[in-house]
Amino acid sequence: MAKIIPFRGILYNPAKVSGDDVIAPPYDVITSEYRDVLYQKSPCNIVRIDFGKQMSGDTDSSNKYTRARDFFQQWIREGILVRDEKPAFYAYEIDYSLYGENKTLRGILAMVKIEELGKGVYPHEATHSKPKADRLNLMRSCLANISPIYSLYNSPEKITSMILDGIEEAPYISAHDAAGAVHKLYRISEESKIDSIMKDLSDKAVFIADGHHRYEVAMEFKREMGEGPWEYVLMFLANMSDAGITILPTHRMVKGIKREDVLGRLEPDFAIQTCGLECDIVERLSHEGKNTFGLYLGSNEKWYILKYKGTDLEDVPSVLRSLDVVVLHELIIKKDLGIIDVAYEMDIAESIKRVRKGDFDAVFFLNPTGVDDVERVALSGLRMPPKSTYFYPKLLTGMVINKFIVDE
């Protein structure tokens, strides 16, 4: 099982800065335009470290990574960033709204010992190849984990969850994200609570929810450096037995098909119904349940509702066979339609717009993957297709930083 320990976090000093001014979204969802907005918010916004701008005169010795290191060191010297005096776990709470329902996600920020995947720490989905040099260069320059990996564990006893539920003091720092969710951070430094959390998590597997690439970068850095504090990586850990975890679906936009042939090719494997575009496709798919998909072809103003008959996929491992994303990829996209050009979109209206513009021929909509499916597939040693899960809301960067300190 994974080893999880407290650490002396580096935090923004709320006496000198406001969380709303200095905290930022994850680097991989920040556009260049929004990065400019974050730069203007504060000269101490974490984006200057985590996702700094390239400059025209950059060289091997002066670039966005050296500037990130310099900002990091300067803000520590100036007391903008402060290091806790003793190890702690950090409670991270997000109050958010989804489809008119108010929800709360709670978890802890902790250090998790880096292990080979499948040995206490488990991936759950395949990832697209992605340049990792950027994150590795940042880690080399700053000697720190700037942003956490979002991970899950399963503790029906809810020992840690009860500790988090019992927090009553004001947050150490808080910030709002672009959707209006409130992100709050609390320090857990009492030895009795630290001991209880470590005992609760000592026999638990850890499942990477969001941040597979960051974990792989941390593994590579550990291989480079050998023994030392970089043998641990910063993670947010949420209990799968709690109610606040949300997974959203990522819809598939496709091209390279003949629209007039699509329904005929799908009919052997799917019962097909129609409804007008005024139909709430999210509600309809949720009502229809597992292995139901929405299809928009753009040529008329209606949805096609596809209900899988369960007649194929015997060659797919049983643990994957019932997953919506697997039925969509292995049966609809590969076998029935032979599609090779797939793009991903969270927003339903935007995906419809792209089809109407002619960028894509069709879009398939699906229900979200279940949290229990993540655990089941991960423990089997298999992986779901890319973009099978979108954990919402995204964690913000800058709530806590872990700096590698040698011989403390």
Q: Say which CATH number the domain at 324 has.
A: 3.30.1760
Locate tokens 């966005």: which residue?
64
Q: Do both 224 and 158 map to the same domain?
A: yes
| 273 & 236 share domain | no
Do both 195 and 60 map to the same domain?
yes
More confident residue, 300 or 147: 147
Above 90 in pLDDT, residue 283? Answer: yes
- What's the pLDDT at 408? 53
Other C-beta atoms within 10 Å of 408: how many?
A: 5
Q: Are residues 255 and 204 in the same domain?
A: no
With a cut of 70, say whether residue 403 has pLDDT above it. Answer: yes
CA–chain centroid gap for 238, Å, is: 12
173 & 302 share domain: no
Domain assignment present for residue 386? The answer is no
3-state DSSP call for residue 371? Answer: helix
Answer yes or no: is pLDDT of 128 > 80.
no
Determine the pLDDT at residue 175: 98
Q: What is the mean pLDDT of the chain?
A: 94
290, 330: one domain: yes
pLDDT tens digit sequence for 155-168: 999 999 999 999 99
CA–CA dist 104, 242 (Å, integer):
10
Q: Is the pLDDT of residue 215 over 70?
A: yes
Q: How confident is the model at residue 232 (pLDDT cuts 50, 70, 90)?
A: very high
Residue 82 amino acid letter: V
pLDDT over 90 at 19, yes or no: yes
258 and 177 within one domain: no
- Do residues 274 and 351 share a domain? yes
Asked if the structure places residue 148 within a domain, the reply is yes
407 pLDDT exceeds 70? no
Q: Residue type at 229?
A: P
Q: State how far the Cα of 10 lies from the Cα of 400, in Å rounded to an integer.
A: 6
In what helix (H) or strand (E) does residue 274 lie, and over which residues does it extend? strand 270-276
CB contact set of 51 (below 8 Å; sequence gap of 6+):
24, 27, 30, 35
Mean pLDDT of 225-235: 97
Structure tokens at 306: 């596809």
Asked if residues 266 and 332 have their Cβ atoms less than 8 Å apart, the reply is: yes
Q: Is 237 helix (H, G, I), strand (E, B) or coil?
A: strand
Task: Dump pLDDT digits (tens) for 192-211.
Answer: 999 999 999 999 999 999 98
Q: How many residues does the chain have?
A: 408
Beta-bridge partner residues of 4: 112
Select from 402, 240, 252, 234 the least CA-distant residue to 332: 252
Residue 386: pLDDT over 90: no
Nearest to 110 by CA among 168, 182, 169, 197: 197
The total of structural domains in the chain comes to 2
Determine, yes or no, domain membership for 379: no
Q: Which residue range is the domain that position 275 belongs to?
A: 250-367
Average of pLDDT values for 214-222? 95
In contact, 5 and 90? CB cutoff 8 Å: no
- Whether 199 and 282 map to the same domain: the answer is no
Which residue matches tokens 């638990």? 204
Quick one: average pLDDT of 19-40?
A: 96
Radius of gyration of the chain (CA): 23
The string of DSSP codes covering 188-219 is: E--HHHHHHHHHHHTT--EEEEE-HHHHHHHH
**pLDDT digits over 74-123, tens only?**
999 999 999 999 999 999 999 999 988 999 999 999 999 999 998 999 99
pLDDT digits (tens, 9 = 90+) for 360-379: 999 999 999 999 999 999 99
**292 is written with which tokens?**
């139901």
Q: Is residue 191 part of a domain?
A: yes
Q: What is the pLDDT of residue 255?
A: 93
The answer, yes or no, to whether residue 129 has pLDDT greater than 70, is no
| pLDDT at 127 (0 to 100) | 73
Give the pair of three-digit tokens for residue 317. 């491992």
Report if residue 341 sits inside a domain.
yes
> Does residue 215 sit within a domain?
yes
Across 338-350, b (16+ Cβ under 10 Å) vs e yields ebeebeebeebee
pTM of the prediction?
0.93
Same domain, residue pair 198 and 302: no
Same domain, 139 and 238: yes
The whole-number pLDDT of residue 55 equals 94
Tell me if 86 is assigned to some domain. Answer: yes
In a domain, 378, yes or no: no
What CA–CA distance (Å, rounded) separates 36 from 32? 7
| Distance linking the first and last C-alpha atoms of the chain | 26
**Is residue 135 a contact partner of residue 218, using CB atoms and an 8 Å limit?**
no
- Domain match, 227 and 325 both: no
Nearest CA to 215 out of 185, 344, 105, 223 is that of 223
